[in-house]
Structure 1
Amino acid sequence: MSNNNFDINWTDVIKREARGSDGYDLGEVQEVSTDYRITEKGIVDKTKYVIPKSLAQKFDRDCLYFQISEEGAKVYKKE
């Protein structure tokens, strides 16, 4: 398990679960850009989050964890 976002192989996080520090479901990682990780949650009513790479905390091969709470995630929510 990687505990430093610099050790994370970013291609491995695509299509993996994403969660906040409080266990909040951020959906599935859909895209990786230079500075951001884009997640999408839901099937019909989709919610998208564009979260800065710097908030990535760890990746355990199944889930990418971000250092962000449910309340904090609202800032990165995109319609």
Structure 2
Amino acid sequence: MVIKKFSSKTTLKNVFKAVYGTSLAAHIKEHRLLQAAELLCHSQDSMAEIAAKVGYESQSRFSAAFKKRFGELPTQYRKTH
């Protein structure tokens, strides 16, 4: 495996997308939301705490992103899973 030093953020983003087929930002967002789903199922943390733990400053933005990904709000997800 050849490791190349990237000269810019743009190059890193382009290479990441070429290798993984998705943007770096989308990959990070997916990872954060999957982590949130785990926390919803296996902790008693509040929605605000979970949002903060996975990197969202706004609970409303977290809820909107979660609903878009999983088709239900975090509170509903917690109840059904």
Pairwise same-fold verdict (TM > 0.5)? no
Task: State the TM-score, normalized to the length of structure 2.
Answer: 0.23
Structure with more of its chain in helix, by fraction: 2
Task: State the TM-score, normalized to the length of structure 1.
Answer: 0.23
Structure with more of its chain in strand, by fraction: 1
Structure possessing the higher relative contact order (Cα contacts under 8 Å, 6 or more residues apart)? 1
